[in-house]
Structure 1
């Protein structure tokens, strides 16, 4: 199945089974040229059959100094290509303090965040879904989601999502207002009890799972073998799994997945995306891409079908993988993960 259906307050929306993450187009010292980013976005949308939207994922803080460069770029895209607006489903993460990564789910800040995104979009594209990037431990969830529910009621946003939450938090939020999608990290090197619980709870409640980093932030492509392969200023240089002492150990899973992909005649990125997609009809892999050819490759991963024997091979590699290093520096609590 190369599509899935989102349950939104205004009705069902059919989207491509592979979403498109826009973060690394702008979350760097020098954002990509518009022409490059626009070509990548167009390639994804153009790959969708008639009537199927491409799920685009951006962020209020995906810019230098945690600024709004990402939203501004998205606005410029739809200004230049207005005919693409109805062919895309735009999801935006926000809810942190302005120009900061500190979660702030207070009524005042959630309103500020949504309004800031709407201001930068300039009416060029509807804000189809908004989600607070992290749960604020100092504000009741009901307050944050209550504010978003009012925005939905007013027609300023189309639906509500959640991000980096446990299954029980997702269900708690779903009681405040129907949640359309939940975003969590899922990949062959990041699939444990928390992911399994969220995927199950989401399926039982008609909630889509937006599975970010399905190719391990590029590591599972096999093209990153050392820190020299990651540009200066790239945030992956700070992540534990990409440190030299861990990277060489972690490459073992890459080699095993590459062997299966080669046998099947696909890339290792497509294999990872296809495996994440196989976790359920409601699971949308969300790979990031800043180049048109890579976007097309990623979308192709959503069309890959495994035989039961092939899937068993991939699952065996994943289940027996011994990974070195956590996915973020610091503890889950300090990083506001699985809140």
Structure 2
């Protein structure tokens, strides 16, 4: 389902920049830029960045600056989505008006005019700050022409409705994958349809579960951040692999990869919900980009088969460590 947002036509699959900036496994600058170029050439022009992706010295904003310094002609081709309003030191959102302004100003400073912020959103909701305040402060920059449109991330259906009463919402970014289908049932998808808001699906490969690279808990490096997440704990890891095994069988029947089935299922939710759904998988290698972009057509029977699997296999463990629970879908 193609669509245009902030004057730019969006491709059917986007590109998440987090994989290029994983702590301890940062992709070298030249290699990262090559991967980004390959993504754009393949049609992935929705780029998902964040001021906290990486370090204060080298994060996704610096990488965007470096890319568009090398390829200034691509600035009008890429839709740049930026998440902000998050304090690295406290791991808490800064969604009050002052925090929003400080975050956007920081992003604009690092980007240095090399590209436009087409979409800006607070990374997490904050139960202590009304969404009306956050949206109102972001809208100031939209009206000033410094940001293309207002976005929401990790939000509830109620928040979507409250935010939309303040300013038009350009896109809603939530987790959506074969491992995480709650947003199809909790009212978020219905609210997006009500207001005609596209859904940006982050972690569409469930943080690597659906890449085929993880076969056992020990495949995670000792310093891998995923060891902090409930779904990757040793006591549930093998149980969660049951879902992967089922998807592997479907992929084998189609003659494609698990990745392609997983991303194609997310994309197919566009027809179910009635608004565009854009998965934004990460990639740190050009070969991964190429695989991500080759969606397959899932038949009605295959979609039914997948839904039956989802109905019989329970994913074990929450999405985030307990410390983040307070800021999930506020």
Q: Indicate the TM-score class for this superposition, using the shorter chain for normalisation.
A: over 0.9
Pick aligned residue for 1:62 from 53, 69, 76: 53
Pick aligned residue for 1:5 from 3, 6, 18: 3
Once the two structures are TM-superposed, the CA of residue 196 in structure 1 deviates from its matched residue by: 5.3
- Paired with 2:232 and 2:87, the residues of 1 have a C-alpha distance of 28
SS at match of 2:46: strand
List per-residue Cα deviations over 1:213-271 (Å, max 9, x = no partner): 11111101222123332234331111111111111111111011000011111110110
SS at match of 1:124: coil
Question: 1:75 aligns to what?
Answer: 65
SS at match of 2:278: strand
Moved over 6 A (4+): none
**Contact 2:8–2:77, Cα closer than 8 Å, also in 1:** no
TM-score by length of 1: 0.91
- Paired with 1:107 and 1:168, the residues of 2 have a C-alpha distance of 20
- Paired with 1:126 and 1:216, the residues of 2 have a C-alpha distance of 29
**Contact 2:174–2:183, Cα closer than 8 Å, also in 1:** no
Once the two structures are TM-superposed, the CA of residue 67 in structure 1 deviates from its matched residue by: 6.0
1:152-301 → structure 2 map (5 Å cutoff): 152-192=142-182, 197-280=187-270, 281-301=275-295
* Change in CA separation of 1:195 and 1:124 when aligned onto 2, cut-off 3 Å: farther
* Change in CA separation of 1:28 and 1:331 when aligned onto 2, cut-off 3 Å: closer
**Contact 1:186–1:195, Cα closer than 8 Å, also in 2:** no
Once the two structures are TM-superposed, the CA of residue 7 in structure 1 deviates from its matched residue by: 4.1
After TM superposition, the structure 1 stretch with the greater mean CA deviation from structure 2, 12-21 or 195-204, is 195-204
**Contact 2:183–2:189, Cα closer than 8 Å, also in 1:** no
- Paired with 1:156 and 1:140, the residues of 2 have a C-alpha distance of 23
2:28 corresponds to 1:33? yes
Pick aligned residue for 1:129 from 91, 115, 119: 119
Which segments of 5 or more consecutive residues in structure 2 lack a partner in the other structure? Answer: none
Question: 1:310 aligns to what?
Answer: 302
